[in-house]
A and B are shown apart, each in its own frame.
Chain A
Amino acid sequence: ETGVTQSPTHLIKTRGQQVTLRCSSQSGHNTVSWYQQALGQGPQFIFQYYREEENGRGNFPPRFSGLQFPNYSSELNVNALELDDSALYLCASSLEGLGPPEQFFGPGTRLTVL
């Protein structure tokens, strides 16, 4: 069984640039959620994708967008990067069913915005 993978591991960008982060879900899982974790804080929910559709969104501006592909992998895109976007970005995969599912996280992508 393949676990959740994310790429790249680290990324450095400058203010105003755009970035794309990638996530491959655990085999058999059909749902991917993205979280942002600032230093010293718990992860904050950005959005979730199920069957290639956005299935819930947290309190993040529209410049945070995403995609899910037919193989259930996902991308997180952030436009017009700001300094405060510097954080660890985590994706979690799960299998949608009855009731809250177990959610497994990837190793994260560390984004630094200069």
Chain B
Amino acid sequence: SQELEQSPQSLIVQEGKNLTINCTSSKTLYGLYWYKQKYGEGLIFLMMLQKGGEEKSHEKITAKLDEKKQQSSLHITASQPSHAGIYLCGAVLSGAGSYQLTFGKGTKLSVIP
């Protein structure tokens, strides 16, 4: 099974609606990263969380890391077509060396105008 599970796998929302993407780990998270990827392109850094209970926001995107540091959520408020893409969570997991990132499979977001 995957060390990092993302849900849902895909999401289609109407423009203006809110949405949440979840990332759950089987191990303690020492660093949790959210990235956005357009098909076939590089990863765009959104934000990084380290401390249990930490919450960060950038424009209409908010990410939280739960107190036990095994789950994170990404929330988009009032979605826009520009939010469409693949959202990837990556994490430095307990036992990992060199701060290497383990990634989930991604959540494909489509926003219908």
Binding site for B on A (CB under 8 A): 4, 6, 33, 35, 40-45, 48, 50, 55-56, 58, 88, 90, 92, 94, 99-108, 110
- Between-chain CB contacts (< 8 Å), 24 pairs: A6-B42, A33-B98, A41-B105, A42-B90, A42-B104, A43-B43, A43-B88, A44-B103, A55-B97, A55-B98, A58-B100, A90-B43, A92-B101, A99-B31, A99-B50, A100-B31, A100-B92, A102-B45, A103-B45, A103-B90, A103-B101, A105-B43, A105-B44, A107-B41
* A43-B103 contact given A90-B42, A99-B50, A105-B42, CB 8 Å threshold: yes
Question: Residue on B with the closest CB to A41?
Answer: B105
- State how many residues of chain B have any CB contact under 8 Å with chain A: 26
A107 to B92, CA, bound (A): 22
Interface residues of B (CB under 8 A from A): 4, 30-31, 33, 35, 40-45, 48, 50, 88, 90, 92, 97-106
